[in-house]
Structure 1
Amino acid sequence: MNFFGYFMIWLAVTGRISKPPVWQMCLYICIGANSQSFANTGALVTCVKNFPESRGSVLGLLKGYVGLSGAILTQLYHAFYDNSKALILFIAWLPAAVSFIFLRTIRIIKIVRQENELKVFYHLLYISLGLAGFLMVLIIIQNRLNFMRIEYFGCAFVVTVLLFLPLAVVIREEFNLMKTKRQALNDLPQLQVVSENSPSAEFLSVTEEPKTEAAAPQTEKHVSCLENVFKPPNRGEDFTILQALFSVDMFILFVATACGVGGTLTAIDNLGQIGASQGYPRHATTTFVSLVSIWNYLGRVVSGFSSEVLLTKYKIPRPLLLTIVHLISCVGHLLIAFAVPNSLYVASVIIGFCFGAQWPLVFAIISEIFGLKNVNPIRVPFTHTCHLWAGLSTTKPTPSAYARCLP
């Protein structure tokens, strides 16, 4: 979808095909722009399912990198292309290539919570903060100086290295896990082999449990999806799609998202025109428009990690944090509305931060209220998940297995 939509736009812009009508161009834009929603949903839902105890941190990291993606693509584009029309072709093939290359890494894994899981996420956070800081400095310098192609290439190389640096953290953790497992196997106690004819074997004999006939499977009555639309379960349990859509909670979330995200996004999209109308110089307008993506990133990672800490330690719910973010964004809107001198700098920071902060909170709230059953390809039973969190096996050892393990 991504490649088809933007590639058709590139063919039309460069004149390689006949000029399409307006509705056809709108269709190409719709297909290309909405393609990222599928990749976004697949990655977010899978990671939240794999790390249910750290969903805030996971969402903050993933949405934070999404916030930096525009600045990252800009640096890569300047390094490889010098034609503005080539940007459309670049946007067409790069996301599609990344999706195909890393497709197998997006998968459900066995949930075994590690002791240092949160510590690893903080290491990934520090790397992303370094990338965001480098991009911020880079944007400011590039707006003041004229870069050559070789300089753009060097900047793109550093950005790529910082982008793939989390792989070093992952490889290190996998190596440590492998080392721990190998050490645990070497530390196993020596087992004594007992012959069946020896007297001590009598003490090891275990009577087998009587076999019980398997109960006849009970046929459950099929319930139509339309019969329980207005009979939702308790909050936190698994809702069906229709139950979630017609619930009061979803309506409130929809209105809050439409007003909060819609209001901040409208202000961000029009910052250039707002700055020009209020008499700001052109270079200043360009600078704070470019830096909005950095504040957007900071809002995403801060809300993701801070909401996890506040919920765990102080029991502060995420809906309350979302309300606070909306109230803070109102301050930015008021600064723009009253045109206070030099206030647009502060307003752009507030609005960019609040726009990014809303996304991890909204996704985490939806997963906490409506469950993950119907937004995830695989459902893990609750008891199974609890055992895996504790690092235990759910398979009950048989008496003979106990006997073989006796020293």
Structure 2
Amino acid sequence: MAYWNILKNRWTVLVACIWIECCAGASYSFSIYSAIIKNRFSYDQQQLDTISVFKDIGESVGIISGLLYDRFPPWLVLLLGAAQNFSGYAVIWLFLTRRLTAPALWEMCVLICVAINGQTYYNTASIVTCVNNFPANRGIVVGLMKGCLGLSSAILSRVWRLLFPGSDGSSFLLVAAIVPSAVASLLMPTVRKYEPVHNCRNDNSSTTLNLAMASAPVLVLALFLMGSAFRYGHSVQADQVEFAVAFFILAATLWVPWTAGRHETTSTSTSPSTPSTEPLMNHPEPEKSNKSVVMDYTNTNHSVWGALCSLDFFLVLFTSAIALGSGFVAVNNMSQVATSLGYEQQEITIFVTLISVCQFLGRFGGGAFSDYLLSKFGISRPLLTALAGLLLCCGYLLIAMAGTFPWFLYLGSIVIGFSFGANWSLNPTTVSELFGLCHFGTLYNVVLVGNPVVSYVLSVWVAGYLYDREAETQGRRGGECKGITCFSLTFVILAGVCLMA
């Protein structure tokens, strides 16, 4: 019976969701294939930024996945996401490889939105399920899930380079269509909600220890990918070895269900549509001491309408929209920034990997560290969100000065990746604490609705307009812009907007 528990417990769900999230973030690799889209269909920078905005819309508007999760089991949400993910990316790949007639701009916008939106189904099913399974450790769990999502673009780029060595970015879309859909489809039977376990006084400490064991291989993988990003002169053999090492590091997470899951008794949640809140209500209060501050939000479960009408929700929505919307603009344009400064494709890949890995560190660190600060010192997550936004401003200013100090581009990529990632884990955790878990799947996705609006304004009306204006001033062929003046003013504006929030 103990061995049966290995397959049917919350730790197996956690590891399955880690693997799903590690393959779910193809949206963060937009810079790998954005130049191919721009050149093959003769788009200018504003048109490319319009496509990137629809990418952000697909990534941020997950209300449908949230509503479905509140009414159906997680495996069905994952299945729908896999179908949408595969169909969207596959059709874009057919266009880029000229197997279909070149699409109109609006068609490309719709396709990229549909493809990326499949990612929200993965995120909702993974994050909300794990938060319900580990309510007392929601910061660590959200940080881990969001961290794996941020790390996924580095993983997918390794798979792409292994399967299609030396090819252009169009083949990456084929990887983005197949790999996430296949992983989610294979693992979806194991993803289910369980009643949280509270069977001994030391349960929370042992759970935290096991969560640390699950997080350790992912952290090692992040550091490994960061180190390999600076390796020049890629060869097929080296890529094969690198992928094998990364796979075995990630496979180490399978040890957690074996050690923690086989001795843990859990029961499946009886309602597929409503997250289990009774264990949260009856969770024994932690022992208070002089060294810790206990903050308890678990008794607050708002209705969707009640949450939407509150000032707290509006403030979370506003700050999230500014921080994440401006972050989208920065991440989406890093390839163009590097190109305008004269960097080669190899170095651009380094920036993409660097941002991806630092996003992982920010997402995981933002969740785990905020849990620690909240329990020990009572430091609220909104305060940490403000500090993450301030750090994001510094990253934008570093990029704005990269023309004068070239190493600022590397440093700025690290700072932006870390602070952008921290916002991704802090915001949903704040929502779950302020408004409860009953409608967390829906409210979590509603908070993200403002991101594409801010992203559109800053991408098209600011970044795209200033880039095209500078390119016209330089008079270069094909609307290409060279030099830091292409983006310096844009990043100064991003810093100002983020500072206001």
- Pick the aligned partner of 2:137 from 48, 54, 61: 54
Q: 1:35 to 1:153 in 2, by over 3 A?
A: same
Q: How does 1:36-185 map to 2 (within 5 A)?
A: 36-82=119-165, 83-84=167-168, 85-113=170-198, 114=203, 115-141=205-231, 144-148=232-236, 150-177=237-264
How far apart in 1 are the matches of 2:197 and 2:147?
25
* Structure 2: stretches of 5+ with no match in the other structure: 1-83, 266-296, 443-501
Q: 1:122 to 1:90 in 2, by over 3 A?
A: same
Q: 1:353 to 1:125 in 2, by over 3 A?
A: same
Contact persistence 2:153–2:353 (CA under 8 A): no
| Structure (1/2) with the larger helix percentage | 2
How far the C-alpha of 1:176 sits from its partner, in A, is: 4.8
Contact persistence 1:5–1:92 (CA under 8 A): yes
Counterpart position of 1:381: none
How far apart in 2 are the matches of 1:329 and 1:127?
27
Report the AA paired with residue 173 of structure 2.
Answer: I
Equivalent residue of 1:331, what SS?
A: helix
Counterpart position of 1:356: 421
Q: 1:7 to 1:289 in 2, by over 3 A?
A: closer
Report the AA paired with residue 167 of structure 1.
Answer: L
How far the C-alpha of 1:122 sits from its partner, in A, is: 1.1
Q: 1:285 to 1:75 in 2, by over 3 A?
A: closer
How far apart in 2 are the matches of 1:105 and 1:9?
31
How far apart in 1 are the matches of 2:425 and 2:399?
26
Q: 1:134 to 1:259 in 2, by over 3 A?
A: same
Equivalent residue of 1:238, what SS?
A: coil
Equivalent residue of 1:165, what SS?
A: helix
How far apart in 1 are the matches of 2:387 and 2:411?
18
How far apart in 2 are the matches of 1:376 and 1:292?
27
Tell me which stretches of 4 or more aligned residues in structure 1 moved more than 4 Å.
Answer: 275-286
Q: 1:152 to 1:367 in 2, by over 3 A?
A: same
How far the C-alpha of 1:86 sits from its partner, in A, is: 2.9
How far apart in 1 are the matches of 2:383 and 2:145?
22
How far the C-alpha of 1:177 sits from its partner, in A, is: 4.6
Deviations 1:217-275 (A, max 9, x none): xxxxxxxxxxxxxxxxx996222222222321121111111111122332222234434
Q: 1:343 to 1:51 in 2, by over 3 A?
A: same
How far apart in 1 are the matches of 2:95 and 2:441?
38
How many residues get paired? 319
Q: 1:282 to 1:79 in 2, by over 3 A?
A: closer
Contact persistence 1:78–1:153 (CA under 8 A): no
- Pick the aligned partner of 1:299 from 362, 372, 379: 362
TM-score where L is the length of structure 2: 0.59
CA RMSD, Structure 1 to Structure 2 (Å)? 2.4
Q: 1:351 to 1:108 in 2, by over 3 A?
A: same
How far apart in 2 are the matches of 1:354 and 1:334?
13
Q: 1:376 to 1:136 in 2, by over 3 A?
A: closer
Contact persistence 2:221–2:246 (CA under 8 A): yes
Radius of gyration: which is bigger?
Answer: 1
How far the C-alpha of 1:351 sits from its partner, in A, is: 1.1
How far apart in 1 are the matches of 2:425 and 2:322?
16
Deviations 1:29-79 (A, max 9, x none): 111111110110111011101101000000111111111101111111222
Equivalent residue of 2:92, what SS?
A: helix
How far apart in 2 are the matches of 1:153 and 1:15?
30
* Structure 1: stretches of 5+ with no match in the other structure: 179-233, 378-407
Q: 1:364 to 1:349 in 2, by over 3 A?
A: same
TM-score where L is the length of structure 1: 0.72
Equivalent residue of 2:439, what SS?
A: helix
- Pick the aligned partner of 1:269 from 332, 336, 345: 332
Most deviating of 168-177 and 157-166 = 168-177
Equivalent residue of 1:116, what SS?
A: helix
How far apart in 1 are the matches of 2:111 and 2:177?
11
Report the AA paired with residue 88 of structure 1.
Answer: L
Q: 1:263 to 1:147 in 2, by over 3 A?
A: same
Counterpart position of 1:10: 93
How far apart in 2 are the matches of 1:76 and 1:235?
41
Most deviating of 367-376 and 340-349 = 340-349
How far the C-alpha of 1:125 sits from its partner, in A, is: 2.0
How far the C-alpha of 1:300 sits from its partner, in A, is: 0.9
How far apart in 2 are the matches of 1:270 and 1:349?
15
Q: 1:279 to 1:154 in 2, by over 3 A?
A: closer
Counterpart position of 1:197: none
How far the C-alpha of 1:373 sits from its partner, in A, is: 0.8
Contact persistence 2:139–2:368 (CA under 8 A): yes
Deviations 1:266-318 (A, max 9, x none): 22222344345567787655533431111111111111110011111111111
Q: 1:332 to 1:44 in 2, by over 3 A?
A: same
Q: 1:79 to 1:333 in 2, by over 3 A?
A: closer
Q: Is 1:25–2:108 an aligned residue pair?
A: yes
Q: Identity over aligned residues, as a percent?
A: 35
Counterpart position of 1:347: 412
